[in-house]
Structure 1
Amino acid sequence: MSPTPDLIILNGSLLTFDDATPKASALAIRGDTIVAVGDTDDIRVLAGAGTKTIDAAGGTVMPGFIDSHVHLFGGAAELGMLDLRETMGADALTKALRTFAAEHPEEPLLMGVAADYEILGPGVKTTRQNLDHILSERPVALMSADHHTVWANTIALEKAGILHGAVVPPGSEIVMAGDGTAQGQLNETGAFGPVLRLSQLGGRDLLGYVTGADPEPPATPKERAFDKEVILRGLNHCASHGITGLHNMDGNFYQLELLSELEADGRLPIRVQVPMHLKNTDPLDRLEEADEMRRRFASDMVWSGRVKMFMDGVLDSYTALMLAPYPGKPESLGDAVFTAEHFNEACIRADAMGLQLSTHAIGDGAVRRTLDGYEAARDTNGARDSRHRIEHIEVIDPADLPRLAALHVVASLQPLHSPAGGLFSPYSAGDILTAEQIPFAFAWNNIRDSGAKICFSTDWPVVPVDTMMTIAGAVNCTELPSPWLDNRQSLLATLSAYTHDNAWLEFNEDRKGRLKPGYLADITILEQDLFSIDENQLAHARIALTICGGKISFGDLQG
């Protein structure tokens, strides 16, 4: 007689992504594995004396969300920072900053996040003097929502040693004023890294993003313990949104070690993949670190096997790499982080090692250069099932659309980055984008129609890690004026791109992403049936329970 299940879920509306059992209302779990899927009456009789029961009460039961693009350590740290997403105007910023300062008297750096590029008002530059007027006696730094720009006050710039400028890596910029001092705006990580090192975390939360290196000098035992708790807070936050897996986009051995320690302690609530971050200033021999990460970290909960690179910046600061000059900055094509030759060789070498590639590419020039690098790897090494990814693709040239599918490159997209997602305003033709580019900006349907594979994620903390907010942003898009196109997605396609397809993206399609016997019990239960509620209510749907590997990571059995 088969052992009884440890856990059964009854009375649900199951979205299985399994053609053999497309509709069901219940499932059974033993250990970390789904052992049966079927009708509630059939599953109920499998229960034994020790079986725990969850009543889904008609809510959607589906594979756990896999957020395939996050910055875990930074996102976790920002949960304790000043959220400026809804703050606009000098008076509002003054009140928010001064209140936060009073509430955090021991913070060495008062950090605001999700700041608008025009937080002080339309056309008003955020300068160190403006920030000094609000708060001058303590270091202040405001991070833009896209995480590519920081504004700092004078004392922060002084303590960071960059008030009078400094040598920064290509693609980064300390914006200078006419008097030879820093104006206050710091573009890209090479410029604002010294300011962030003033924080309580000493910049360790962003090392994987800024340099890909470990703390130097090494973190003390006290710092490691503190950092581990910060990361755990972020993981639990993600679990509360139905997430069972994360693909981190910044990586170093330090994060992998902390996550593995949490796993060994039995406290890791979510599966996490961490890449090796290859910088444009790195020798290509550093790719050996990626191979070492793959060998050392290969559990079901913490693993590597991927290389992350940046090709450009972002649209708002004119640092995204474009094929033609910006209409509002005609002297600039943006910034290429890698030269074409360096990037191609990096792709060839990493691909030859069997590593997966994920590259940040926002402008149409960056997308083309990334495709060129992936094509060079394919031409040199031969075709293989690589599932290389391009992260973001905010603008693509129509000539490059067919290349995505031809090269089997995955479009890793973030619905809430698009102005259609409701968080950001649309770009007007004639400044950052031309009227001809706009139909190919955030062009989810054009990309999908090209035959390319699409996966969805958040880029937390650029936007909240709230899964239902992202789903609503893809399905129930804001209608934008012409020449913007309608890129609304179906609910089923969106849920697939956020669960089933992301399992495929991490080469785990035979173990995750389906509610099917033999698959890992990574499951999300919602309070409502998503296919029965009005699309306008999707953002308000709530997670009832999250299960990772058969263990409840959010919620309880009273459901």
Structure 2
Amino acid sequence: MTSTPDLIILNGTLLTFDPATAGASALAIRGGVISAIGSTVEIRALAGAETNVIDAQGGTVMPGFIDSHVHLFGGAAELTMLDLRETTGRGALATALRNYAIERSDEPLLMGVAADYDILGRGQTTTRQDLDEILPDRPVALMSADHHTVWANTIALERAGILRGGPVPEGSEIVMALDGYASGQLNETGAFGPVLRLSRLGGRDFLGYVTGAEPEPPADARERAFDKEVLLRGLRHCATHGITGLHNMDGNYYQLELLSELETEGCLPTRVQVPMHLKNFDPLDRLEEAGDMRHRFASDMVWSGRVKMFMDGVLDSYTALMLAAYPGKPDSVGVAVFDAEHFNEACIKADGMGLQISVHAIGDGAVRRTLDGYEAARKVNGVRDGRHRIEHIEVIDSSDLPRLAELGVVASLQPLHAPISGLFSPYPAGDILSEVQIPYAFAWRKIRDSGTRVCFSTDWPVVPVNTMMTVAGAVHGTELPAPWVDNRQTLLETLASYTCENAWLEFNEHRKGKLKVGYMADVAILDRNILDIPTELICETNVSTTICGGNISYQL
């Protein structure tokens, strides 16, 4: 006989991803797991006097979303920074920055985020002098939407000690002007890290992300408490979008410790995996830290077991590693963060330790080099179920497409990055991409149809962590001119890649990612039946309730 549930959900349209319970309309939760699934009449009969009852009112009831690629600390910090996503033109930027400066009179660094590369106008490069005209006496930094470029004014560069340039790690660049001073553009975290250290967070929001020297975690208890509050604000924000699990891409002990403290305090609204970040200048012995993280942090709410690496930069700054020179920059194929031999050795060692690997690879050259590293690990260690990942795959060569499935590599993709989503404009042929490359750019449909496992995420704060925006971007999309091709996904493919496929990605497919008796009670309830509305209305759908481990973490 079923024990009295703690919580029941009635009158829903259940999307269980379990054929055995197709057509169910209700479920029960007890002790943090799903205890029963059935009709509303059957589940209602299980309720006791103390059972919490939620009426889904016909809305979709589904497994909680798992966002498999986020930068949690940075995303959380940016919730209170100046959002420039919709800002275009010199006048609009000046107004936004000056108003923000008045509101934040004591802010040591005025940070604008989600800035477009052409924020001043098409083809206009932002310089320190441009920002000086707006605010000459307060340090200002604008972060690009992709988080690979920062533009800073003169006082910020001066206080950071890089106005006249300085040493940076491979893959980063302080762009210099002809006058011998920094132009204001800083490419990659090894270059803009000194500027971020001017902020209230001291750059700690980029801990585990940067490719240069990292800021030290604070010893001061008040700063630690502040950082923990920032993380908790970010996690609660994620819960409002039906998210019950996150795969963080910033790896370090400090975040693991803060998240574990929140878990002990019973405050965590979502589950979080945190990797170890191996940098291109690190000796391979540093991978022992990844093994230690896996051992020390292994709860259902906070865990590790993964290594993160960067192989290249991004398309917009011509730092993504390509197989052929950029059409608009014929002297460059981009930047290889790792040389091939070092990367192969890192893959062999990490794979041999039983660790999962995820690699940022955007250009077709970076994708090939990453596949070569995974293949090298297989040749040395043998074939195992490693579920190694490539993050982004924004351009892939046609000859490498079948290698993804052959090597068992997971494509970790972000639908809102693709021009088809409508958030970013398509690249015109002849500058960043050639006409031959475009059919294999953001080629989500080709990748899925090749037999490759596909998992979806946001890369928050590169784009909003809003799950319905991502679903709509993948499914509804927008028509693009030739030679762009249609890469839209079906609704069920998209929802699976955002839930049960991401549970599989984290080796939890036996207890998470489905609505199934005995599985973790991680549930999202939508305010309508998403399976029965026109695709253009998906973006208007809201999450009404989020449940993580049987606890309500958000309710509209």
> What TM-score bracket applies, with the shorter chain setting the length?
over 0.9
Listed one character per residue, the Cα deviations across residues 362-386 of structure 1 (whole Å, up to 9, x for unaligned) are 0000000000000000110000000
Mapping 1:80-229, distance limit 5 Å: 80-211=80-211, 215-216=215-216, 218-229=218-229
Q: How many correspondences in the alignment?
A: 556
Deviation at 1:49, TM superposition (A): 1.2
Contact conserved, 1:212 with 1:278, CA < 8 A, in 2?
Answer: no
Residue matched to 2:450: 450
In 2, Cα distance between equivalents of 1:104 and 1:173: 30
Mapping 1:250-265, distance limit 5 Å: 250-265=250-265
Contact conserved, 2:193 with 2:212, CA < 8 A, in 1?
Answer: no
Task: Provide the secondary structure at the position in 2 that maps to 1:347.
Answer: helix
Contact conserved, 1:136 with 1:155, CA < 8 A, in 2?
Answer: yes
Task: Provide the secondary structure at the position in 2 that maps to 1:80.
Answer: coil
In 1, Cα distance between equivalents of 2:507 and 2:555: 29
Letter in 1 for 2:62: M
Residue matched to 2:299: 299
Residue matched to 2:372: 372
In 2, Cα distance between equivalents of 1:429 and 1:43: 57
Residue matched to 1:75: 75
Deviation at 1:50, TM superposition (A): 1.1
Task: Provide the secondary structure at the position in 2 that maps to 1:48.
Answer: coil
Letter in 1 for 2:40: T
In 2, Cα distance between equivalents of 1:152 and 1:326: 26
Residue matched to 2:439: 439
Letter in 2 for 1:299: S
Contact conserved, 1:249 with 1:275, CA < 8 A, in 2?
Answer: yes
Runs of 4+ aligned residues of structure 1 deviating over 3 Å after TM superposition are 211-215
Say if 1:299 and 1:286 are closer, same or farther in 2 by CA, change over 3 A: same
In 2, Cα distance between equivalents of 1:7 and 1:212: 48
Contact conserved, 1:212 with 1:250, CA < 8 A, in 2?
Answer: no
Moved more, 359-368 or 19-28: 19-28
Contact conserved, 1:214 with 1:253, CA < 8 A, in 2?
Answer: no
Say if 1:496 and 1:233 are closer, same or farther in 2 by CA, change over 3 A: same
Task: Provide the secondary structure at the position in 1 that maps to 2:532.
Answer: coil
Aligned identity (percent) is: 76
TM-score with structure 1 length normalisation? 0.99
In 2, Cα distance between equivalents of 1:74 and 1:96: 21
Listed one character per residue, the Cα deviations across residues 12-70 of structure 1 (whole Å, up to 9, x for unaligned) are 00000012112210000001000000110011100111111000000000000000000
Contact conserved, 1:413 with 1:457, CA < 8 A, in 2?
Answer: yes
Say if 1:189 and 1:57 are closer, same or farther in 2 by CA, change over 3 A: same
In 2, Cα distance between equivalents of 1:211 and 1:435: 32
Listed one character per residue, the Cα deviations across residues 331-356 of structure 1 (whole Å, up to 9, x for unaligned) are 00000000000000000000000000
Task: Provide the secondary structure at the position in 1 that maps to 2:178.
Answer: coil
Contact conserved, 2:25 with 2:40, CA < 8 A, in 1?
Answer: yes
Residue matched to 1:24: 24
Contact conserved, 2:204 with 2:216, CA < 8 A, in 1?
Answer: no
Residue matched to 2:350: 350
Residue 478 of structure 2 corresponds to residue 478 of structure 1:
yes
Say if 1:213 and 1:271 are closer, same or farther in 2 by CA, change over 3 A: farther
Contact conserved, 1:212 with 1:252, CA < 8 A, in 2?
Answer: no
In 2, Cα distance between equivalents of 1:45 and 1:535: 36
Task: Provide the secondary structure at the position in 2 that maps to 1:553.
Answer: strand
Task: Provide the secondary structure at the position in 2 that maps to 1:210.
Answer: coil
In 2, Cα distance between equivalents of 1:2 and 1:463: 43
Letter in 2 for 1:219: A
Residue matched to 1:315: 315
Listed one character per residue, the Cα deviations across residues 289-314 of structure 1 (whole Å, up to 9, x for unaligned) are 00000000000000000000000000
Contact conserved, 2:359 with 2:389, CA < 8 A, in 1?
Answer: yes
Residue 7 of structure 2 corresponds to residue 12 of structure 1:
no
Say if 1:211 and 1:361 are closer, same or farther in 2 by CA, change over 3 A: closer
Letter in 2 for 1:307: V
Contact conserved, 2:197 with 2:215, CA < 8 A, in 1?
Answer: no
Residue matched to 1:391: 391
Task: Provide the secondary structure at the position in 1 that maps to 2:530.
Answer: coil
Contact conserved, 2:218 with 2:224, CA < 8 A, in 1?
Answer: no
Mapping 1:26-45, distance limit 5 Å: 26-45=26-45
Letter in 2 for 1:142: L
Mapping 1:439-518, distance limit 5 Å: 439-518=439-518
Letter in 2 for 1:436: V
Deviation at 1:3, TM superposition (A): 2.2
In 2, Cα distance between equivalents of 1:265 and 1:213: 32
Letter in 2 for 1:280: N
In 2, Cα distance between equivalents of 1:182 and 1:307: 34
In 2, Cα distance between equivalents of 1:71 and 1:332: 29
CA root-mean-square deviation: 0.9
